[in-house]
Chains A and B, each alone.
Chain A
Amino acid sequence: MTQLRVAVDVGGTFTDVCIFDEDTKTMRVTKVPSTPHDPMIAVMNGVERGEINLSDVSLFSHGTTVATNALITRKFPAAALVTTKGFRDVIEIRDGTKDDLWDAYNDVSGPYIRRRDRFEVSERIDFSGRTVTPLDEEEARRVAALLKRRGAKTIAVCFLNSYANPAHETRMREILEEEIPDATVSTSAEILPEIFEYDRFNTAVANAVLAPLVSGYVNRLATHLKEGGYAGDLLLLHSGGGSMTPRMVEKYPVRLAASGIAAGAISAKHIAQQCGYENAVSLDMGGTSTDIALIADGELRITKEWQVEYGHPIIFPSIEVLTIGAGGGSLAHIDIAGSLRNGPQSAGADPGPACYSMGGDQPTNTDANVVLGRLGTSLAGGAKSLDKRLSAEAITRFIAEPLNLELAEAAHAIVAVANANMADAVRLISIRRGYDPRDFALLAFGGAGALHGADVARELNIPVVIVPPNPGVTSAMGCLLVDIRHDLSQMYTGLAANADADDLEASFTALESEASARLRHEGVADENALLQRQVSMRYLGQWRSLSVPMGSGEGALKQAITAFHEQYEREFAFRQDGTPVEIYQLHLAAIGKTPKPSFRPHARTSTHPGTPIDTHPVYFGADGWLDTPVYDRDTIPAGARFRGPAIINQLDSTTVVPPYTHAEIDEWLNIRIHLEEILHG
């Protein structure tokens, strides 16, 4: 019987399906249009198009934008907030900051729950967890009855200092559940037991507004799959680079808020490791934007400062992805002072680049690549044709003439500025961490990543570029590569030197028993469960902390302190050994190992790339126009090695192999482009 592992990644335009066959160790992919009004339709269409018999499926994994889209469009069920008297506006006051510091007409969006739906009860707990004002049960009942009358379907309970003592929140939850049995209740201390009311309240509120919607979707899909014959658990990819089952989604739907964004970075990490690189930059360039993520020492960078929209933080660990406005459709223009700019404005899908012949007359990166001869005039196997003449007209009119440049020079300048902007973005997330790009590989994918990858790598002194076999559907594979994962945390403040080892151990043990319970709830067998401790520390008096791994037993804390100093020095290029170190938080990652696909390498059959399907002039800056062979990717065998310049075409992408580089096709069918002057220069 065939055994399949299936991953479905829902994007804004397409829903991608990856099917891994465990017997043949091969993967095939399929793509169907997304159905935003009900994403499940596209998922089931993908299953059908991929000719998947659900009873053959051993693991079905899913990355979804349902939660992200709900937060953006604000289509929530009737939601309410119950909070401490006097603090109804915590989520509206936020920290008061503007995202756009200078544009007085550009406001931060309002809170997820409107003021009319926020209610107060008398209660107060102080910083130490001591009750200052007991919960007014009568008032709590009145509020519950009122919410019932108002038809609230989902309720966030957020009380001050509940991270220090959750008793009042818990009691409020009981009262609400008694009065409104069918409502979903999220309490802030249960969602995120951390200090700082605005961060905790908003995370709980985001959880509450997503609760019925997201778990409704997930349960519906799970039921469909089950009816279709799938016997396993549906796994949902979450923002933190792990997955969870519908049972846990019911409680923590907010963890899916960046589900769709995480998948690409996870794939990049896998491919880099497959190629033997522990350090990599992931460059996922699409039509309107580029997502950049950093893999260092084999791990994706994780951040707790994350939000779908500015001003509404979701403080759960999330893969750090930097998105910038640079894509194939980004517009090049000359600004008012005569300087050449690129993006962040985009021609989008409509009208799209000038060459799409859909009415766009402004030049884009795609137009520049067409004029330079890098991008052919036929895309997606002939499904779309590009008009090179329109590209040339747009670039001539808006860029070349104002700057007194030849057409090719102007097109090259457009691409060079786009590449420099992407390189700057990579610097922002890598150099500030103290990493040297020369130790990295660049993973280039997305529709446009492979067109620009080698130039961006040169800009950054990165010696090698890896283009995976299906650059346009690389993200979906990420869903197949993760374990079940939960991230727990606990406040624990005090000087590290004075910390009581037994007390610390007891705190971790308590977190571990909660974590094990969650994994068991998800059906993870004990032998597949893995618990990882981390501790956040900072120099006494500082505000931000750094998180380092921590072992157990004697000497573990001492080792963690040493690791903190080292990590600090790497990130900030200095350390302060004379300053006492303070513990801030304890973290526990609970991992339930799931089986991963093991890919079968391809035999290296020939070192020759085969016959080019075409040879035409391509413009390479200082080298001018060079006759360049064009290869069909599907026909280049593993083991092939050839020098640039070359162009490699495939259905969903085009790869540019510039001069002074050489390319090889590895046993996983990745294209690896080596930049010679960086390797040897």
Chain B
Amino acid sequence: MGNTATATATAPLTTLDPVTFEVLKNAFATSVDLMSEQILRTCYSFVIYSRDFSSALCDAEGNTVMQGSGDIAVHVGTLHFQCKAVIEEFGTDIHPGDVFAINDPYRGGTHFNDVSFIRPIFADGEVIAYAQNKGHWADIGGNVPGSFDVNAKEHFGEGLRITPVRVWSKGVFLHDVAQLLVSNTRAPAQAMGDLHAQSEATAVCERQMQRLIGRYSTATVKTALKETQDYVERTVRRRLETLPRGTWETVDYMDADPGKGEGLVPIKIKLTLDGEGIHYDLTGSAPVVETFLNSGYGTTFSAIYAGTKTFFPDVPLNSGFYAAVTADIGPEGTVVNAGWPYAVTGFCSGPYEKLMNGIFEIWSQVMPERAMACAFNLEYLLVGGRDARSEKKPYFMWYDWMAGGWGGRASKDGSTATAPVFGPGLAVQPLEGQERLSPVLTSVHQIAVDSGGPGRFRGGCGIEKGGTLTDAESTVMSYSCDRARSITWGIEGGLPSIPHGVWLNRGSDNERFLGSNFSSVPLQPGDSFIRPSAGGGGYGDPLERPAEEVLDDVIDGYVSLRRAAEDYGVVIDEIDAELDDFRIDFASTAAKRESISAQRQGWLEVDPTVIAEGYKSGEIDMLDVIRRHGVILDWGTGELFPTTTDQFRALMERRSAQHWG
């Protein structure tokens, strides 16, 4: 610590000469990216194929020296924990040709599906580094296909917990051990394929490191492994010198704890910048919830690092970054530090996204020119059962996630139809591939009109995707998401977007709103389902958005004529829609904007029971309930959630209303 005080621009900051240092730093990056490249081309899990994986080079103590440039955000800051766990477990009993596996979320891992393979790299008879590849297996056992059991309270139902275990010993494949691991999944052959592919990928990194050792000497490479971390730490600390000092706080919410009835579940974040480093404090966050939406310490740190990194996009990620960013995550037993044996697989839909977006909100104040409102919530829909299209009726698993909208920004609209902040490189699957593999016919996959949170800069648009079950038997549906109640929010006067949640047989007599988290709902052939992904929250007062920009959104169908008037106060006449001929009625627009401006504070104070009744009777539509009145209901039955509404209104007051001129 404190090395910035003595370092000056004229003293060499590395003991290596500048060329050797730069060359080795870049070569480490190449050796890690080569590992990623190989796993992308040899994997079996379609989740890995969709880029849910990461690669790292760690030093002899397990500290991360370099992470892959295309890694999924959610693995950031967990790989060193996994490597250290292997070192703690095996100590000096680590040999050339060994490969270890681990997925333990109670030792800094993410969730059980994410299995790491770690290979020691030796020089002159000692370990000098480790190569690691972590990938999301399509299934890791547990109660439900895909191993995402929303109702799990403890990890025993979630899947196989792999504490550090050796799968290759001195170059000999331990078939018995590997067999035990893959036999606890629903797709053993596929898992065995990934086990081999991932282990072989770490060998690619090892070969590159051996080349560097041969070329530059063991001592030089070891020094570079250390100095690459120092370099990153120094970069962050230098940046901090130009930033304001102080303390910032926010709270974001998960929807509910089923063990406690309605009421949002708080996650509190405090940031202190003291010129020395970046310090977070999460104390005061809620106790563990009775679903799998809890986070272990590894993923909480991951959210903190990934959220912060978003404001330092060009700084490489390694343990030097983790040294400059510290956090007090409070005692075990909370949603952000669950501990054994609480269920944690759904951390990604739960605390992770709240921490990321809360950190975005805080840094939006530190660096206003990079501000961004809340993004849509990561979501997974799982439909699993027997595929009756062929005689054998094999198991099928339609495991689907969507892109959605990101928040409006200080100088432009939010990004439309974009992968989640959990992993901006996580690709959505082509439905033509899904239709070959599963008896689900996709009915729609399109941008959801009016899903972007209104603002001076509109939130990016979300998507809606629907499907119908065709020839299937014994089929159930599960969903892992959030933000049906803690709806994706705007900042600086911007408005919320739309609630997440799945509708069954929408528009028919047996329509049901299933909410944003549910497990094992039975489906019959012919049943249809549809769900949106939220858009991003808006940035700035929507009444200040130029009418011409609203008109453009109307022509492209991102915003409806009705919401143009209700959200933005822009009145547009349709002349000839076929030729995109719409005209702004400027006089009516001025009047409408004035009227909204005069009334909107009052709308947020209307008795919520009145709003709920209006929703049930069809007089008030969902977007008015949310954007005008800040009222949260069960979107299926119209039942009012009074505590939730109070909490949500308080947030809207702080993030939206207080900024209206």
Contacts and interface: CB of A to CB of B under 8 A. Distances in A.
Interface of A: 86-90, 92-98, 100-108, 114-116, 124, 126-127, 132, 146, 149-150, 160-161, 163, 195-199, 334-342, 401-405, 413, 416-417, 420-421, 424, 427-428, 431-432, 539-544, 571-574, 576, 579
A583 B185 CA distance: 26
B49 A543 contact: yes
B303 to A, nearest CB: 14
Given A89-B445, A572-B42, 4 more contacts: A89-B417, A97-B419, A104-B415, A431-B34
B405 to A, nearest CB: 11
Given A96-B418, A98-B425, A539 B193 contact: yes
Contacts of B40: 544
28 contacts: A86-B445, A89-B445, A93-B417, A97-B51, A97-B426, A101-B73, A101-B424, A103-B313, A104-B409, A108-B418, A115-B447, A115-B556, A116-B555, A146-B578, A149-B578, A163-B432, A196-B432, A337-B13, A337-B238, A338-B9, A338-B13, A338-B231, A340-B19, A340-B22, A405-B18, A543-B44, A572-B42, A573-B200
B143 to A, nearest CB: 24
Given A104-B310, A542-B44, A86 B446 contact: yes
User: Which of A92, A96, A101 lies at the interface centre, i.e. has the most chain B CB atoms within 10 A of its CB?
Assistant: A96
A367 B626 CA distance: 61
A338 B309 CA distance: 20
Contact of B447 (A89, A146, A195, A404): A89
Interface residues of B, number: 93
Interface of B: 7, 9-14, 17-19, 21-23, 25-27, 29-30, 33-34, 37-38, 40-44, 46, 49, 51, 69-71, 73, 189-190, 193, 196, 200, 203-204, 208, 231-232, 234-235, 238-239, 309-310, 313-314, 360, 370, 372, 402-403, 406, 409, 411-412, 415-419, 424-428, 430-433, 435-436, 441-447, 463, 466, 555-558, 578-580
A576 B199 CA distance: 13
User: Which of B29, B235, B239 lies at the interface centre, i.e. has the most chain A CB atoms within 10 A of its CB?
Assistant: B235
Nearest to B463: A93
B189 A541 contact: yes
Contacts of A340: 18-19, 21-22
Q: Which 8 A-B pairs have the closest CB atoms?
A: A96-B403, A86-B444, A95-B427, A102-B313, A103-B313, A338-B13, A337-B235, A543-B49
Contacts of B30: 424, 427-428
B472 to A, nearest CB: 14
Contact of B432 (A96, A100, A195, A401): A195
B204 A573 contact: yes
A52 B44 CA distance: 57
Contacts of A94: 417
B310 A93 contact: no
Contacts of B402: 96
Contact of B370 (A104, A150, A432): A104
Contacts of B234: 337-338
A338 B7 contact: yes
Nearest to A114: B556
A649 to B, nearest CB: 27
A579 B193 contact: yes
B39 to A, nearest CB: 10
Nearest to A405: B18
B426 A115 contact: no
A196 B430 contact: yes
A150 B558 CA distance: 20
A404 B10 contact: yes
Contacts of A146: 578
Contacts of A89: 417, 445-447, 463
Contact of A424 (B27, B370, B416, B558): B27
A539 B196 CA distance: 13
A96 B421 CA distance: 11
Contacts of A150: 578-579
B238 A339 contact: no
A305 to B, nearest CB: 11
Contact of A432 (B14, B38, B557): B38
B171 to A, nearest CB: 13
B424 A574 contact: no
Given A195-B432, A542-B43, A96 B19 contact: no
B239 A336 contact: yes
A574 B201 CA distance: 10
Contacts of B10: 401-402, 404
Contacts of A402: 9-10
Given A86-B443, A417-B19, A195 B436 contact: yes
Given A86-B444, A427-B30, A541-B190, A197 B430 contact: yes
B397 to A, nearest CB: 14
B44 A416 contact: no
Contact of B446 (A87, A101, A541, A542): A87
Nearest to B241: A336
Contact of B419 (A98, A126, A403): A98
B14 to A, nearest CB: 8
Nearest to B468: A132
Contacts of B557: 115-116
A116 B580 contact: yes
A93 to B, nearest CB: 4
A553 B69 CA distance: 46
Contacts of A106: 313
B276 to A, nearest CB: 16
Contacts of B38: 432, 572
A291 to B, nearest CB: 18
A428 B231 contact: no
User: Which of B417, B427, B446 lies at the interface centre, i.e. has the most chain A CB atoms within 10 A of its CB?
Assistant: B446
B309 to A, nearest CB: 6
A114 B552 CA distance: 11
A341 B445 contact: no
Nearest to A429: B37
A138 B653 CA distance: 51
A424 B26 contact: yes
Contacts of B360: 104
A197 B445 CA distance: 12
A105 B370 contact: yes
A632 to B, nearest CB: 32
Given A104-B370, A149-B579, A428 B33 contact: yes
Contacts of A103: 313-314
Contacts of A544: 40-43, 49
Contacts of B310: 102, 104
A31 to B, nearest CB: 35
A543 B432 contact: no
A624 B94 CA distance: 45
User: Which of B43, B232, B445 lies at the interface centre, i.e. has the most chain A CB atoms within 10 A of its CB?
Assistant: B445
Contact of A116 (B23, B231, B556): B556
Given A100-B313, A428-B30, A416 B19 contact: yes
Given A195-B436, A544-B40, A574-B196, A413 B19 contact: yes
A86 B446 CA distance: 6
Contacts of B370: 104-105
Given A115-B556, A432-B34, A92 B432 contact: no
Contacts of A114: 556
A539 B447 CA distance: 36
Contacts of B580: 116
A300 to B, nearest CB: 19
A1 B52 CA distance: 65
